[in-house]
Amino acid sequence: MKRPSRSRSHRQLELVVDSFFFCPSCTIWRTGRPGLRSGFLRRALSTTRRNSAAIPTSHTAVNATKNVPARYKPLHEALGEVWKKASAQVNLSRLQLALQGLESETPATRVAVLGLNVQDTARRVVRLLLADALEDEGSWEKQILDPGAAFSHGLVIRYGRPPNPNLPQPRTSTPVLYVPSDVLLRNNVEVLVSTIQGLGNGELLQGAHTVTADAFLSPSVGTPTAASGRQVAISQPVHSTLLVTNGLGELMAAAELLASTNFVAPEDRRSVQSVVNLEGTKTTAAHGRQVLIVDATKAEEGLAAIRRSVTEARTYEHKWIDSGLPSLTTWLTSSSAARSEGPIPATVKTLISSVLTNATRNLQAQAALEKRSNAARSINYTTKATLEDLIEEFSRNAHQELQSGLSSAWGSRNWRKLAWYKLFWRVDDVGLIITDLITNAWLPRTERAVYELSGRFSQAGISLMDVPQNGNTVALPETEKIEEPTQVLQAQAGVATEPAVEPVLVNRTGRTEIEMAAIARPVPLSSSISAIRATQIDRAITSLTSTAQQIVLKTLSLTGLSAGLSGLTYVSVAGSMYEAGTIVALGTAYALWRMQSDWLNATKTLETALHEEGKTLIRRMVGRMRDLVEQGSKVVEDEVEVHTRREAEDAVLRAKEELERLK
């Protein structure tokens, strides 16, 4: 009888071993015992479903989808566009807080309680606001009042039970104190306790708005990040702020600080409330009062009285009311989004309106600053009129010099050396005489005037630079073959002397090709006359020298041909000296007449070319000067900056429209 029971126990043990202790890669368990396998899988899957349903989903996952309420989605998307397009004009931490407020039906409210330079009075006020009079003193009350606690740089107070000290504590950027206070739970409020620095003597003497509203509504909390105590300032945005002072001295310092703060948006100033702790002063109703008055000592005495005995409830009530703490409780309740009515909580609405107002003001300030900067770089009306008069005078003098200079050059003694009948012995002096005439007669005073105008333009902040109209085009080589090594210094010298080129697309033969075109670099306008003069000299020397040589050769050829013809006539007609002489005379006269007309035509062409080139150069220089003056007097904005600013303005305007729709 015992053997069957032993075998049954043995089989049960095998089932357990096969069920839980198996190799995942082995196929024996997957192929064997189908009934046991299916039952085990069903039980395992049901257990997994129950466990996964019990595990909470993290809302801070990287790829988590934000559950934005349907009525807030257009505004949420509009604020997202503000984040993208106008991130430089908004406080991103406050904008992030506004976006978080739209991602929930019951958003949490963040309130800052700031002490002036120290946190002692601020911590006392926070402890009185959150303490439960019907409960004994909690450990959190001792921690918040302990001057040696690790909260000297600021802390965040949230609702909850203190964590188990035996477990590892999560590391946060700002210390967090969990307080089981019904005030935090009922109002869904988080409290930031920190300090704000008062104005120094130098800032007081300035008498201007030296503090921004972000010092109150997005205070920076120092966070220790190293054992040496190195601090990193972390911005902590809030919906509203309570500035706590102790005594009349700190109250006056706080008033100076608020007076020196630039509250751009009216909502920012209304979000900052001041309170002063005056001991021994009986407070009254605080309706409409800008500064709340409390007596923390009297409130602490009342709290201690009711905690000693419930019979002292009347004492607690009198002291609590006389201390002025009910006004702070009312302020905290009114600052909560949980107490707001309407399509959007008032605190979230105020925060979004403040962020958008500040963005609009910053965009306007940026546009005004860019306009002033561009106007500072432009020339004024008086300078513009003066420069235009100088340009007009320069144009008139240049045309007069061109006309008179060329006229005097063609009538000069030096030019008469190149008379047509003197070409027989002056043909080799054509280049030298032409160079001397063009150098001394073609716009020499105008060239010096351009240098003088360059100085006047430089005084007005304008540089007389000219852009070449035509650039040299260099064909792009298909392959580059190096037959022998090139020295490094020679290669560097070649790179330094070669003109800069850029690839361009050309279509000359019906097929698009790539060619390397020289980049037109701006050159000083004063060098235009000398460069064109050198070009004209080379062109005139080449043209007139070859023309003179051809004319002389043609004249000699015609004269020789007529002499030969006259000799033949004399030989063929005996004794006809008269006929032979007539042929020589007519041939020589025709050759000389042809020589004179050809030379006069060549010189006339040169004179016309120099005159037309001079007029073209003067018109181009005058036009360039006027363009530079016109450009210098205009306020030219960067197109990229204008486009970026317009996108930011459109994003802010759309967000404002969506906010108005929810009102």
- Domain positions in the chain: 113-196+210-344, 379-467+522-634
Composition of the chain by helix, strand, coil, percent to 5:
60, 10, 30
What per-residue confidence (pLDDT) applies to 475? Answer: 36
Under 8 Å between Cβ of 193 and 243:
no
Does residue 57 carry a pLDDT above 70? no
Distance separating alpha carbons of residues 203 and 222, to the nearest angstrom:
22
What per-residue confidence (pLDDT) applies to 48? Answer: 40
Under 8 Å between Cβ of 97 and 237:
yes
174: confidence class by pLDDT, cuts 50, 70, 90: confident
225: confidence class by pLDDT, cuts 50, 70, 90: low
Average pLDDT of the segment spanning 490-500: 50
296: confidence class by pLDDT, cuts 50, 70, 90: very high
Q: Note the pTM of the prediction, 2 decimals.
A: 0.64
Give the range with max mean pLDDT: 285-294, 365-374, 651-660: 651-660
Does residue 416 carry a pLDDT above 70? yes
What per-residue confidence (pLDDT) applies to 488? Answer: 45
- The alpha carbon of 122 is separated from its chain's Cα centroid by a whole number of angstroms, namely 41
Top pLDDT among 401 and 10 is at: 401
Of 90-94, 426-430, 493-497, 554-558, which gets the smallest average pLDDT? 493-497
Of 6-10, 261-265, 375-379, 540-544, which gets the smallest average pLDDT? 6-10
Under 8 Å between Cβ of 237 and 110:
yes
What per-residue confidence (pLDDT) applies to 472? Answer: 39
Average pLDDT, the chain: 78
Does residue 282 carry a pLDDT above 80? no
Distance separating alpha carbons of residues 175 and 156, to the nearest angstrom:
6
Of 184-198, 374-388, 429-443, 548-562, which gets the smallest average pLDDT? 374-388
Q: Specify the long-range contacts of residues 171-179, CB closer than 8 Å, at least 24 apart.
A: 173/223, 173/234, 174/221, 174/223, 174/234, 174/236, 175/150, 175/151, 177/140, 177/143, 177/144, 177/151, 178/140, 179/130, 179/138, 179/140
β-strands 272-277, 240-246 pairing: parallel
E strand or H helix that includes residue 518: strand 513-518
pLDDT tens for residues 634-655? Answer: 766 678 888 899 999 999 999 9
Average pLDDT of the segment spanning 427-451: 84
CB proximity list for 418: less than 8 A, separation 6 or greater = 426, 429, 430, 433, 548, 603
Distance separating alpha carbons of residues 314 and 316, to the nearest angstrom:
5
Of 314-318, 342-346, 391-395, which gets the smallest average pLDDT? 342-346
Does residue 11 carry a pLDDT above 80? no
122: confidence class by pLDDT, cuts 50, 70, 90: very high
Rounded to 5°, angle at Cα 540 from 538 and 543 = 105
Distance separating alpha carbons of residues 601 and 614, to the nearest angstrom:
20
What per-residue confidence (pLDDT) applies to 91? Answer: 92
Beta strand segments in 379-443, E? none
631: helix, coil or strand?
Answer: helix
Q: Which of 296, 229, 298, 215 is nearest to 260 (CA)?
A: 215
224: helix, coil or strand?
Answer: strand
pLDDT tens for residues 612-627? Answer: 988 998 998 898 888 8
What per-residue confidence (pLDDT) applies to 235? Answer: 87
Both tokens of 492, joined, read: 């560097």
CB proximity list for 640: less than 8 A, separation 6 or greater = none
What per-residue confidence (pLDDT) applies to 26? Answer: 43
What per-residue confidence (pLDDT) applies to 650? Answer: 94
DSSP letter for 637, please. Answer: P
Both tokens of 471, joined, read: 């650039």
Q: Which of 275, 317, 315, 316 is nearest to 295 (CA)?
A: 275
What per-residue confidence (pLDDT) applies to 452? Answer: 87
Top pLDDT among 350 and 15 is at: 350
In the beta sheet, which residues pair with residue 513?
Answer: 506
85: helix, coil or strand?
Answer: helix
Of 499-503, 592-596, 612-616, 628-632, which gets the smallest average pLDDT? 499-503
Does residue 493 carry a pLDDT above 70? no
Under 8 Å between Cβ of 121 and 115:
yes
37: confidence class by pLDDT, cuts 50, 70, 90: very low
What per-residue confidence (pLDDT) applies to 110? Answer: 93
Of 117-121, 202-206, 397-401, which gets the smallest average pLDDT? 202-206
What per-residue confidence (pLDDT) applies to 114? Answer: 94
CB proximity list for 465: less than 8 A, separation 6 or greater = 522, 523, 524, 525
pLDDT tens for residues 557-599? Answer: 888 888 887 777 777 765 577 777 788 888 888 888 888 888 8
What per-residue confidence (pLDDT) applies to 190? Answer: 93
What per-residue confidence (pLDDT) applies to 482? Answer: 40
Of 223-237, 300-314, 530-544, which gets the smallest average pLDDT? 223-237
Top pLDDT among 414 and 131 is at: 131
442: confidence class by pLDDT, cuts 50, 70, 90: confident
CA atoms within 13 A on the CB side of 558: 16
In the beta sheet, which residues pair with residue 155?
Answer: 193
What per-residue confidence (pLDDT) applies to 289? Answer: 66
What per-residue confidence (pLDDT) applies to 630? Answer: 82
pLDDT tens for residues 250-259? Answer: 999 999 899 8
What per-residue confidence (pLDDT) applies to 204? Answer: 57
Of 10-14, 311-315, 641-645, which gets the smallest average pLDDT? 10-14
User: Other C-beta atoms within 10 Å of 503: how many?
Assistant: 9
Both tokens of 328, joined, read: 């702070």
Does residue 25 carry a pLDDT above 60? no
